[in-house]
Amino acid sequence: MKNTISKKYVVDYIENDLGEIMRHDPASMTGAIRETAKVFGLNKYNLFHYIVERADTISGTQSYGFDTEWGRAIRAYFESEYYKFLNQ
């Protein structure tokens, strides 16, 4: 499984694979993914899919379709980092 993420991958996946309009800043999103992955010791690719589509790609983050305390901590940290990168 690859452990990398790029702005191009983020935009292409959201726009082409999900069919959505890119509403978020791809540079901030990529930076937040990288920082969150580093702090929590996660695979960047898996983290991206967990954040964007709630995919069950990170063990222990979901139970019966709901985020666990661990999953909520990851999401909260990602959100904080996203806004930090966005406001630089």
pLDDT digits (tens, 9 = 90+) for 39-57: 999 999 999 999 999 999 9
- Share the mean pLDDT of the chain: 94
SS3 67: strand
The answer to whether 28 and 22 are in contact (CB under 8 A) is no
Indicate if the alpha-carbon torsion angle 23, 37, 60, 57 is positive or negative: positive
Q: In this structure, what are the phi and psi dihedrals at residue 56, rounded to the nearest 5 degrees?
A: -85, 65
Partners of residue 66 on adjacent β-strands: 63
Which amino acid is present at 63? Answer: S
Domain ranges of the chain: 7-86
Burial group, residue 33, by CB count within 10 angstroms (0-12, 13-18, 19+): buried
- What local confidence, expressed as pLDDT, does residue 4 receive? 86
- pTM to 2 decimals? 0.92
Mean pLDDT for the stretch of residues 13-30: 94
SS3 63: strand
Q: How confident is the model at residue 1 (pLDDT cuts 50, 70, 90)?
A: low
